[in-house]
Amino acid sequence: MRIFRHTTGLADEDRGAVVAIGNFDGVHRGHRAVIDAAGGIARETGAQQGVLTFEPHPRSVFQPDIAPFRLTPFRSKARQIEMLGAEILYVIHFDVEFSSHSAEDFVRLVLLDGAGIKHVVAGADFVFGNRRRGTGELLRAMGDKHGFGVTLIEPIAGQDGLAFSSTRIRELLGSGRPGEAARILGRHWEIEGRIEPGDKRGRKIGFPTANIALEDYLRPATGVYAVRAGLDEPAGDASETIWRDGVANLGRRPTFGGDDLILEVNIFDFDDDLYGRHLRVSLIEYLRPEKRFDGIAPLKAQIAEDAALARETLATHGPGPSMTQGPARAGSD
Ligand code: RBF
Ligand code: MG
């Protein structure tokens, strides 16, 4: 997948795609329906499959003081989009100035003059441009006028009444229900980041942890999770992600008067020094809330129980980070 941070001065081979457009935070099953529809039209028409998205997320530009909410920071979002077969990803830098463009200007400057799109696919509820005046209807009118195709994907809930909504996923993760969130996402939710130096206390109590900061990520329920931890390891000329079972605490370590929220992962039967490496942590099941213990011994005993429970829990899940993906359905929130 080629990634472009602009749409000006593109070579011919980087234009003329069938482009799915949206914020796509989470790349959940509703988003997937939109991106897959663009892929289908691209194959039928012999065009390339593209995605156009905005970074940072427009919400963080319009409401800079709101709590962190991202389900997929750019790196994760781009990985998921690539897995859906996109050949080109346009990333439009979103700021207040950009947001002042009218919807018509956005279509003309970015979609037509810039990317030279052949066809655009969006969720039927997608809105864009100054004062959110750009709607599916406007896209259709401009498509008729300028000769590009427009496909709008209606938001539909799953058979089981699941709303394919990023907001719903955030609520479920915030209330310690990662399994239900995974049914909307189509995979278990992951936090990824660079492993930070820890205080080495975990090693002393027999449970060394790899620690990562939450940064822009949504804050899920604090507490202990059964997880899968993915590390990139060399495989021939490339690298591949190797997944291992583990148990993690997402919290503040009240036993030690901790204050900052971090994700600490104990990877089972693995004791390499991981400082500085990139780690993906897939939250499979929530085990318990974080507690304050009277000293190290009871905490250590509790962590041993957590680890045993996590092993049991993970044995009932298939290998790797993901889960069987249900049929994609529309919805683009
Ligand atoms: N710290 C707490 O203060 N309370 C807890 O309930 C708690 N649970 C944990 C569960 C697991 C599985 C792990 C790996 C750590 C937990 N910790 C908890 C954090 C622990 O205090 C920390 O890993 C060490 O202090 C090393 O920083
Ligand atoms: Mg540690």
| Closest protein CA for atom 4 of ligand 1 | 291
Strand partners, 93: 55
- Give the tens place of pLDDT for each residue, 254-303: 999 888 999 999 999 998 789 999 999 999 999 999 999 999 999 999 99
Orientation of helix 166-174 relative to helix 178-185, angle to 10°: 160
Of all ligands present, the nearest one to the C-alpha of 267 is 1
The 3-state DSSP composition of the chain as helix, strand, coil percent (nearest 5) reads 35, 25, 40
Distance CA 206, CA 198 (A): 14
Residue 158's pLDDT is 65
- Dihedral angle at the C-alpha atoms of 20, 21, 26, 27, nearest 10 degrees? 0
Query: Which ligand 1 atom is the nearest neighbour of the CA of 289?
Result: 6
Question: DSSP labels for 128-148?
Answer: BSGGG-B-HHHHHHHHHHHT-
Residue 155's pLDDT is 79
- Ligand 1 neighbours by CB, cut-off 6 Å: 198-199, 201-202, 207, 209, 224, 247, 249, 253-256, 264, 266, 290-293, 299, 303, 306
pTM, to two decimals: 0.92
Distance CA 128, CA 296 (A): 53
Could you tell me how many residues make up the chain?
Answer: 333
Q: Show the low-confidence residues of the chain (pLDDT under 50).
A: 324-333
From the centroid of its chain, how far is CA 24? 8
Residue 8's pLDDT is 95
Backbone phi and psi for residue 53, each to the nearest 5 degrees, phi listed first = -140, 175
Residue 326's pLDDT is 38
- Dihedral angle at the C-alpha atoms of 141, 142, 147, 151, nearest 10 degrees? -70
Residue 198's pLDDT is 79
